[in-house]
Amino acid sequence: MDICSYVAWFGLFSVLGWVYECTYCAIRTKRWDNRGFLFGPVCPIYGFGVSALLIVAQALGSSGVTSSNVPWWQVFLCATVGSAVLEYTTSYVLEKCFHARWWDYSNVPLNLNGRVCLPFALCFGAVGTLLYYFVCPLLGGASVSLPLTAWEVLALLTVGLMSADLALTLSALTDVTQRVERSRADFDAVMETAVDDLASGRRPLGADLEAAAHRTAEEMSLVQRRTLKSIRSYTNERREEGAARLRRAVARVESERRARRHAGNADGAGNADGAGNAPTHDGR
């Protein structure tokens, strides 16, 4: 296998990982949740994991070690530890770069700093074992059956699409962070005038905050709203308070827009029915 085929398989399993994440969360929460750091339907951490497994399998195969020569428990142990290291490292890097978390296992038993937990590590280890024995040999065969040009095209498409997605996500994430900071600034401004507002009895303190958050949510694009919702939490407590306020405002704005669309569709259907039932005149 050459590097182009590894890149192509990385893209495929990033998509399959996204499908798994969304399906699992939809079953658990009974609602659709577009998972992942990137905007598109990909979770690169799964692509990296499978690509690493493929590289190891190919390296062992080149050394004369086949899957039939490796005890299953060794594969399971390596897959479990490897997935935990990959997940912990990814969580740590994302948190240090963006001061936010996209997943948190704090409520799951036997977790390590909320970044990884034993139950999921064991599940990923089991999946990695199955992939090593049953999927990796098939992928190796598929890699040699296609011409190199095809793998080069697939690799270029994968790199191009993911690079564009990464640029879009980083731009949206930067803007979302600025809007969250603006929500914090609104809170500070309201608190400075809280005494005067309460003394005059003008209106409750929270009304100004919610109104400001609502205006900000109205201005956010689809990518920005999706990016905000994908962030599990910010590490800074005050920033998380602003983000939580903005998430509530986004939920209200989306609900209002759905209601308006529904009302518009109902009005359109009513007008169409009225036009269809209106008397016709043939001019005679």
pLDDT tens digits along 184-234: 776 666 666 655 555 555 555 566 677 878 888 898 988 899 899 899 899
Residues 194 and 140 in one domain: no
Residues 137 and 241 in one domain: no
Per the domain annotation, does 153 fall within a domain? no
* Domain carrying residue 192: 169-268
Q: Tokens in use for 53? A: 């497994």
Per the domain annotation, does 115 fall within a domain? yes
Whole-structure pTM value = 0.82
Per the domain annotation, does 30 fall within a domain? yes
Residues 9 and 66 in one domain: yes
Are 47 and 155 in contact, with CB atoms under 8 Å apart? no
Residues 19 and 104 in one domain: yes
Residue with tokens 């996204």: 18
Residues 16 and 108 in one domain: yes
Are 42 and 36 in contact, with CB atoms under 8 Å apart? yes
Rounded Cα–Cα distance for residues 198 and 128 (Å): 60
Burial 245-281 (b: 16+ CB within 10 A, else e): bbbebbeebeeeeeeeeeeeeeeeeeeeeeeeeeeee
Residues 136 and 174 in one domain: no
Residues 239 and 198 in one domain: yes
Give me the mean pLDDT over the 70-79 stretch: 94
Tally of structural domains, the chain: 2
Q: What percent of the chain has pLDDT over 70?
A: 86
Per the domain annotation, does 34 fall within a domain? yes
**Which one has a higher pLDDT value, 65 or 252?**
252
| List of residues 6+ apart from 235 with CB closer than 8 A | 95, 99, 100, 101
Residues 8 and 91 in one domain: yes
Per the domain annotation, does 42 fall within a domain? yes
Per the domain annotation, does 17 fall within a domain? yes
**Mapped to the 3 state alphabet, what secondary structure does 65-117 carry?**
CCHHHCCHHHHHHHHHHHHHHHHHHHHHHHHHHHCEECCCCCCCCCEECCCEE
Rounded Cα–Cα distance for residues 147 and 143 (Å): 8
Per the domain annotation, does 206 fall within a domain? yes
Residues 82 and 197 in one domain: no
